[in-house]
Structure 1
Amino acid sequence: MRFLSSLSDYEHLRIVRYNPQNFDLDRMRALLKKLGNPHEQFRSIHVAGTKGKGSTCAMIAAMLQANGYKIGLYTSPHLNDIRERIQIDGEMISQADFARLVKLVEPIVQKQKPTPTYFDVLTAVAFKYFAEQKVELAVVETGLGGRLDSTNVIKPEVTAITSISKDHMAQLGPTVARIAEEKAGIFKTGVPAVTVQQDPDAEIVLKRIAESRGVQLAIAGKDIEFSYRFESSRLQGPHNRICLSTPQSKFEHLAVPLLGEHQAINCGLALSVLDRLKGRGIAISDSRAMEGLAKTVIPGRMEMVSQQPRVLVDGAHNAASVDAMMRAIGQHIPYDSMVVIFGCCADKDVNGMLERITSGADKVIFTKVDNIRSSDPNELAAKYIEQYGKMAQVALTLEDALAIANRAVTKEDLICITGSFYLVGEARKHFATISAAKQG
């Protein structure tokens, strides 16, 4: 961890210049070559997009694992333990293996110029681990963008683009069209690609780049027959069901294991990936896939971490994901009033997120995120009060924010902690400590 912390970590820098000097695939390829090109030793699925990447990857991995394949999963960021990013069949890489592989990479990195970054090294460690453990398929999530992302050295079986919206605009561009261009950078000639219905400007870009690279791009809901609906039953409560049909696959009225309309869309994309994998000669049983899907659990997304008081955490960190979260809460979780504890990074679409928060929150407490890029909670509160004429409070720590919230809620109310994965990770750790103390 000391070695990793000495490297450039763009997840924790206030200003990141998105250019080929900072994001350099030649640097990544040179590092992997010294490790024996592990990324060429397993088959993979590559997933980019603005929101829903982690959920989509988790569902793909769960369905493939249920089909008997040994599955690697590489995601970011982590909530509490860096090893969460590197998993095989749902198990994090062991501390011993993680330490051994970082130690293997360290002397290579120290001699290499330009020096690989923190994310480069974690990606290389993941790929080396997957190669060593002989995974049959790895589900790989991009970190930032796609075109220049460290993961974009793989030649996957299928590429997938989740919903595109405004995020990391300082790096990827001010419009969804510019952002889509960066995401489409993962398209590879001859590799099928799938996506969801997008903003029209984003869709035009994705289609243009796919055509220019000889990529067959299919859109769930247009080129792939896909629909979803919301329903409620006594057994399952409120939930979404989806239908997806292709010449090779037929999923009818399939219950989505994760809450929210956005997760129904992500689930459709995950099923579309499986359909395209079948076309690449990978044997997949739909019934086993459904069994795996039903078991999908994703920490930090619409996760209830406490019942007394009721506390929900969600890593929504841009306007579109906050909007999706608010709608999901409205559909799935009954409450009298909602207190939102909010903290975010300054490089986000802060105004967009504040606008979405005001639609659902009865009270807002602004706090700091444990990151150098954290927005000042006093500035957030001032902006919120000025723009929406609603009262807000400030707490400099999550513990203080929870103390204020606890005084304001009854057992029928809901506390929602959101705005950043860093804040959600801190909250999960806080409530895990409380739970352990009660059991101890």
Structure 2
Amino acid sequence: MSDLVASNSSSPNDNVGLVSLTEWLNYMQQIHVSAIDMGLSRVLPVAEALGVVKSAKDDAYVFTVAGTNGKGSTTAVIAEMCKAAGYKTALYQSPHLSVFNERVRINGKMVSDETLIDAFSKVEAARLECDLTLSFFEMTTLAALLIFAEADCDVWVLEVGLGGRLDVVNIIDPDMAVITNIGIDHVDWLGDNVEDIGREKAGILRQGISLVYGAIEMPSSVQHAINNKQATCYQIGQDFSYRDIDSMIWQYSNAAVTLQLPRPALSLTNTANALSAVLASPLKVDISAIEQALQTVKLAGRFDYRESHHRHWLFDVAHNEQGVEFLLAQLLPFWHQHLSKHGSQSDRDLPKIKMLFSMLGDKDIDKVVQRLTQAGLPISDWFIAEIDYPRAASNEQLQGVLTQYVDSANIYQFDGLHAATYAVIADSQPQDLIVVCGSFHTIGEALAALAV
């Protein structure tokens, strides 16, 4: 592989030896000096050479979704509604949980390895012709956009990877922008306050387009961007709202309509934001398509309940304080339902919560653990292991934070998520609930272990 990355001025034919998707993914992780490299100056010439910018502008309606949390759920709901209405719908999300193909979907289906490999080879040829280096995320995002263009999709639903203004997704001009919320995350790249972060996320705005803003509080930097771009803003709590009715029904309202709808398996806040974006667009999406989408939409790792190995599991990718708040808002009522179904009159047989937990080292582990431990949930034990990823928090780092809030006798360390997953199975009872959270990588590795 080292021969392949010795120079980025070699012929595209030099990469003919890359046969499998795994080989391509490994190669693209090595051709740039850093995994994250913010800015559009390198990626734009390659995108223009591929024709993806023109294709999106001329042939598709584009939703671009930025925000600290909830982007995946929001993009999933938008895409499902558009698909149900008969539009050929492209969905780009990141990161993935199990296989890379999850990131690139057309009409809900992951594209094939062969489709990805063909796109990667074309992106690589354009990159070499432009004599530029691109990061892994830039290469893979360009490939996704090229696939959507070549498939002549009617609607593109794009999830921003990091920030907004300088993220590669922002080479495409959106017709509709969504900012789900703004919290403190990725401080090394976006800033350590909501004004700076808001300014970066509002970079997805274009002159005169509409924005759905999915939080009650709006930083002044976002309002300034709205004014500057003369954008039309629809904000939750002001221009639209929702009400939780029961386990089957919820109500959505804006100035024009009030709808009683089937309750989806995803966050109602994110669902309301997605529905607002669809309703504010010129797309023809009727109530039957909306209802159908809400009954079918799902997203792995977002309050994702499963039964496996005779155990109850709940997977959630919450990895910052705001994400944990989303998780707890759903987990607390869910836990009471679980308790009523699986509890008994004997204290010894009452269900407990077991945590399978790991995070990246550059996240605010303390804030996440503090919220989880102070939520009033009966968490009996914590099973921790280091994620197989360069930025993973070490067991010592995780243990150091946990012992500030949890008795060390209830913390168990393991060499890897596979071992930790099977340890929590062995140490739990069939009535218990195993909650897996802390990172996309935590969920992915645990799911991989269970699939063995």
Query: Shorter-chain TM-score: which interval?
Result: 0.7 to 0.9
Output one character per residue of 1:323-358: Cα deviation in whole Å (capped at 9) or x when no partner: 321331221241421010111111111111111221
Aligned partners of 1:251 and 1:293: how far apart in 2? Answer: 16
Cα distance in 1 for partners of 2:175, 2:125 equals 32
Q: Does 1:417 align with 2:432?
A: no
CA contact (8 A) 2:262 2:291 kept: no
SS of the counterpart of 1:61? helix
Deviation at 1:421, TM superposition (A): 0.6
2:79 pairs with one of 61, 78, 99: 61
Q: Indicate conservation of the 8 Å contact 2:314/2:435, yes or no.
A: yes
1:5/1:118 contact within 8 Å kept: no
Other-structure match for 1:304: 305
- In the alignment, the residues of structure 1 paired with residue 32 and residue 442 of structure 2 have an alpha-carbon distance, to the nearest angstrom, of 14
Q: Shift in Å at residue 381 of structure 1?
A: 1.1
AA matched with 2:253 = L
State the partner residue of 1:19: none
Name the residue aligned to 2:273: 269
2:214 to 177, 196, 201: 196
Measured after TM superposition, the shift of residue 2 of structure 1 is: 3.0
Aligned to 1:212: 228
- Distance of 1:246 and 1:29 partners within structure 2: 40
Aligned partner of 2:431: which letter?
Answer: E
Cα deviation 1:25-61 (Å, max 9, x = unaligned): 1222101111123433422100000110000000001
- Please name the residue that 1:226 is paired with: 241
Which residue of structure 1 aligns with residue 322 of structure 2?
Answer: 320
Alignment of 1:39 with 2:63, yes or no, is: no
Does residue 437 of structure 2 align to residue 407 of structure 1? Answer: no
The within-5 A match list for 1:359-378 is: 359=374, 360=377, 361-378=379-396
Paired position in structure 1 for 2:15: none
- Distance across 1 between alignment mates of 2:225 and 2:51: 31
Alpha-carbon offset, residue 9 of structure 1: 7.7
Secondary structure in 2 aligned to 1:366? Answer: strand
Task: Give the TM-score normalised by structure 1.
Answer: 0.88
Residues 348-407 of structure 1: CA deviation (Å, up to 9, x unaligned) = 111111112213333211211121000012221122113455542211212221233223
The equivalent of 2:251 in structure 1 is 242
- Give the 5 Å matches for 1:330-345: 330-333=332-335, 334-335=338-339, 336-345=351-360
CA shift at 1:109, angstroms?
1.9
Q: Which amino acid aligns with 1:196?
A: G
**Aligned residues of 2:32 and 2:134 also touching (Cα < 8 A):** no
Could you tell me how far 1:107 is from its partner in structure 2?
2.2
Shift in alpha-carbon separation, 1:153–1:286, aligned structure 2, 3 A: same
**Structure 1 residue 251 displacement after superposition:** 4.2
Structure 2 matches for 1:79-98, cutoff 5 A? 79-98=97-116
Aligned to 2:292: 291
Name the CA distance, whole Å, in 2 between partners of 1:143 and 1:257: 24
The answer to whether the 8 Å contact 1:226/1:244 transfers is yes
Residue of structure 2 equivalent to 1:430: 449
Quote the offset at 1:130 in angstroms.
0.9
Q: Could you tell me which residue of structure 1 aligns to residue 19 of structure 2?
A: none
In the aligned structure 2, how far is the partner of 1:420 from the partner of 1:116?
A: 25
CA contact (8 A) 2:43 2:134 kept: yes
SS class of match (1:197): coil
Distance 1:92 1:11 in 2: 27
| Secondary structure, aligned partner of 1:231 | coil
Deviations 1:209-228 (A, max 9, x none): 11122111220221x23122
Task: Give the 4+ runs in structure 1 shifted more than 6 A.
Answer: 9-13
Aligned AA (1:245): N
**In structure 1, the residue corresponding to 2:431 is in which secondary structure?**
coil
Alpha-carbon deviation of 1:164? 1.7
Listed one character per residue, the Cα deviations across residues 74-104 of structure 1 (whole Å, up to 9, x for unaligned) are 0100111111111110111112111111111
Contact 2:421 2:446 in 1 (8 A): no
Partner of 1:350: 365
Rounded to whole Å, the distance in 2 between the matches of 1:370 and 1:297 is 26
> What CA distance in whole angstroms lies between the structure 1 residues aligned with 2:400 and 2:136?
35
**Is the contact made by 1:305 and 1:428 (CA closer than 8 Å) also made in structure 2?**
no
The AA in structure 1 aligned to 2:271 is: C
Residue 167 of structure 1 aligns to a residue whose secondary structure is coil
| Aligned-partner residue type, residue 254 of structure 1 | L
Work out whether 1:254 is the aligned partner of 2:261. Answer: yes
Task: Check conservation: 2:213, 2:235, Cα contact below 8 A.
Answer: yes
Structure 1 residues 395 and 12 mapped into 2: Cα distance closer, same or farther (>3 Å)? farther
* CA distance in structure 1 between the aligned counterparts of 2:435 and 2:33, rounded to whole angstroms: 24
Higher-Rg member (1/2): 2
Paired AA for residue 39 in structure 1: A
Structure 2 distance, partners of 1:122, 1:170, is 23
Structure 1 residues without counterparts, runs of 5 or longer: 17-21, 434-440
Unaligned regions of 5+ residues in structure 2, if any?
Answer: 1-21, 340-350
Secondary structure class of the residue paired with 2:170:
coil
Quote the residue 2:184 is aligned against.
166
Relative to structure 1, is the Cα distance of residues 4 and 406 closer, same or farther in structure 2, using a 3 angstrom cutoff?
closer
SS at match of 1:54: helix
